[in-house]
Amino acid sequence: MVNHAADIVVHWVQAGMATPWLVWLVITLMKCGAVVGVMMGMVAYTVLAERRFCAFIQDRLGPNRVGPFGLLQPVADGMKLFLKENVLPGHVNKVYYVLAPAITLFPALATIAVIPFGNRLGGEKMVIADLNVGILWVFSLAALGVYGIVLAGWASNSKYPFIGGVRSAAQLISYELAMGLSVIGVFMLAGSLNLGQVVEYQSHCWLVLKQPLGFLIFMVAMFAETNRTPFDLPEGEQELAAGYNTEYGSMKFALFFMGEYANMVVASAVMVTLFFGGWQVPFIPVEQWLGCSWLSGMVYIGCFLAKLAAFLFLFIWVRWTLPRFRYDQLMNLGWKVLLPLGLLNILLTALVLAGQR
């Protein structure tokens, strides 16, 4: 289908119907649309996968009635949430109450723009925006995502959401330093913040092998960033009755829910890109076997998605295995363990590089 669409574009150009500017716009829009589509599909099916896996872990069956193996369950859920009554409670701050769910989902959809999800497809780089500041675009937009939860907690004017929002802000100040420090080693080795170049650097050896400590710290920080167990303090369904989304229903609740899973997809994509070679296929020289064709381009994209799925599975597995941290434990972990370890990782990397000089 992609091939066909590209043919149409080529045809337009040959017929003189399109200026290069229009071609650029169409190609970019196609990439954006494909990425958003695949991402929302992954979100929908990660939710289903989570429900099925947790059911197996707890010796249940999980949702298996809608369609074969319950595969149509996300469609049914989506329809239900879409058509449900939109309650706008009287005690909330209306503007922020409505905007908060959107603020949570928006950064996840926007950050994915800098992630290279494949090598090339018909000469076109498989990344929406090849930014020089790469990872900083991800981090800075992701940092804005916390406003969604904090504002939801405040706007709901209700105790459980309020505590959830406060916890979310408190969580941010605990893990973000460690997150920033843990990836410095990657960029020292790759010599660029551009994610495409980081992937390029890993063509011989995945960075997780050179930066194991950095990866561990980053992974812990990513679990905290996505508010996933063991760091799901803002939600805490046992203590806070779902925390910041207690007062939400219908599609606004669904936006929070999609936001959480979309953030998981982005977190997995960043981990794959920084530490696991991005779209590169290990051990197999794809282009020698298949040539530089559309097929090899698709293989790279497939490889990227497979690695992504592995991390999403890890997120699910951990959630149904580990208990939740207490806030003071999280702060101790972030400041007294991860922060010094992050500095140590930078020091070691710097010394090894200086030694190799």
Q: Which of residues 293-332 bind another protein (CB under 8 A)?
A: 327-328, 331-332
Q: How far is the CB of 73 from another protein (least distance, A)?
A: 20
- Selected from 265, 312, 339, 341, the binder of another protein by CB under 8 A is 339
Q: 321: how many CB neighbours lie within 10 A of its CB?
A: 10
Question: Is the CB of 67 or the CB of 89 nearer to another protein?
Answer: 89
Residues numbered 180-219 forming contacts with another protein, rule: CB under 8 A: 180-181, 184-185, 187-189, 191-193
At 125, give phi and psi (nearest 5°).
Answer: -65, 135
Q: What HEC string does 80-101 produce?
A: HHHHCCCCCCCCCCHHHHHHHH
Q: Does residue 4 touch another protein according to CB under 8 A?
A: no
Smallest CA-to-CA distance from 327 within 239, 263, 217, 214 is with: 239
- Placement of tokens 């981090």 in the chain: 139
Residues numbered 147-186 forming contacts with another protein, rule: CB under 8 A: 147, 150-151, 153-154, 156-160, 162, 165-166, 169-170, 172-174, 176-177, 180-181, 184-185
Question: Is the CB of 190 or the CB of 299 nearer to another protein?
Answer: 190
CB 55 within 8 A of CB 62: yes
Half-sphere exposure of 44 (CA within 13 A, CB side): 17
- Placement of tokens 């149904």 in the chain: 320
Binding-site residue total for another protein (CB under 8 A)? 95
254 to 283: interface string for another protein, x by CB under 8 A: xx----------------------------
Burial class of residue 311 (count of CB atoms within 10 Å of its CB; 0-12, 13-18, 19+): buried
127 to 146: interface string for another protein, x by CB under 8 A: -xxxxxx--xx-xxx-xx-x
Residues numbered 13-42 forming contacts with another protein, rule: CB under 8 A: 28-29, 31-33, 35-36
